[in-house]
Amino acid sequence: MQESILGTSKTGPIHLPKDERSVEVEIQNLVKTFGKHEAVKGVSFTIGKSEIFGLLGPNGAGKSTTINMMCGYLQPTSGDTLINGRSIAREPRQVKRIIGVVPQEIALYNDLTALENLEFFGEIYSLSSKKRRVRAEELLHFVGLYDRRKESVKTFSGGMQRRINMAIALMHQPAFLMMDEPTVGVDPQSREHIFDAIEKLRDQGTTILYTTHYMEEAERLCNRIAIMDEGRIIALGTLEQLLAMRDQNREVQRPHGLQELFIQLTGKTLRD
Ligand SMILES: Nc1ncnc2c1ncn2[C@@H]1O[C@H](COP(=O)(O)OP(=O)(O)OP(=O)(O)O)[C@@H](O)[C@H]1O
Ligand SMILES: [Mg+2]
């Protein structure tokens, strides 16, 4: 039996040891222009192996546009993303295989059951029928919905649908997972399931980009945080580093949390 990312699996061979399956991500000067509007204005940062990196910002900051360029859904106006040194622009097929994306909008087949949804996406990733069944069942346990696997997802709450959305992104065992606001409209129970799952994935070596409006989520989960506003990163560091930042010109007090820091930096709240 092989040790899988989510425990033990009969299907092996599945996984490399943690260090070998962990990846480093380098975002190089991404720019995206829609017509005359520059939505992303030169964004660069790196995400370390097995790091949870938070991308925070208000509506329209450019978070989803950045993620969509990083995963190859959207062609950048300029710039690139490298995963362990490999470019998504130059080697899209190879790089996409190690990326998983949880999109901001829930994307499920409403008339299919939870299990059928996962198996369907497993087929897209060319998993054998046996492997997709094992993997789907493993992930249904992982997101706490195994008992509901035979029910159509249209009967699920928003939070349960978001958990299935997350499980789908994990079917091909990505080493780098991007999550675009995975807890919007989610009940507290589903939120805890999602947080537990993220922490387990991190412990197993997955590198994670986590996008949110909610400062308390970033404070709890993320090793480092970038604050984005109007297409630019305006601050980046650990929570402690961010809170220790001083606006020298205005000589403001040390902020008590990310919300206060954000107001100091931009004059607006994250939920504007
Ligand atoms: N396909 C598009 N065509 C034109 N403009 C777009 C397109 N996609 C995004 N934009 C614009 O780019 C800017 C950034 O949008 P984006 O969706 O990346 O923001 P966001 O930070 O993800 O916001 P939210 O928190 O609301 O999801 C916005 O002004 C948006 O209107
Ligand atoms: Mg968005």
How many structural domains is the chain composed of? 1
Residue 201: name the closest of 170, 159, 162 by CA.
170
pLDDT band at 16 (very low <50, low <70, confident <90, very high): very low
For the ranges 8-22, 33-47, 101-115, 225-239, the lowest mean pLDDT is seen at 8-22
Is residue 251 assigned to a domain?
A: yes
Q: Is 68 in the pocket of ligand 1 (CB under 6 A)?
A: no
Q: Is 61 in the pocket of ligand 1 (CB under 6 A)?
A: yes
- Provide the residue range defining the domain that includes 43: 23-98+177-182+211-272
Write the burial class of residue 226 (CB in 10 Å: 0-12 exposed, 13-18 middle, 19+ buried). buried
Q: Tell how far the Cα of 239 is from the centroid of ligand 1, in angstroms.
A: 26
Q: Is 65 in the pocket of ligand 1 (CB under 6 A)?
A: yes
Q: Is 62 in the pocket of ligand 1 (CB under 6 A)?
A: yes
- Range 12-21 average pLDDT: 49
For residue 88, what is the domain's CATH number? 3.40.50.300
Give the other-Cβ count within 10 Å of 161's Cβ.
Answer: 23
Is residue 190 assigned to a domain?
A: no
Is residue 205 assigned to a domain?
A: no
Q: Tell how far the Cα of 58 is from the centroid of ligand 2, in angstroms.
A: 9
Is residue 55 assigned to a domain?
A: yes
List, for residues 191-211, the tens digit of each pLDDT value. 898 899 999 999 999 999 999
pLDDT > 70? residue 214? yes
- Range 175-190 average pLDDT: 91
**Can you give the pLDDT at residue 173?**
93
Instruction: Please tell me the pTM assigned to this model.
Output: 0.89
Q: Which atom of ligand 1 is nearest to the CA of 32?
A: 12
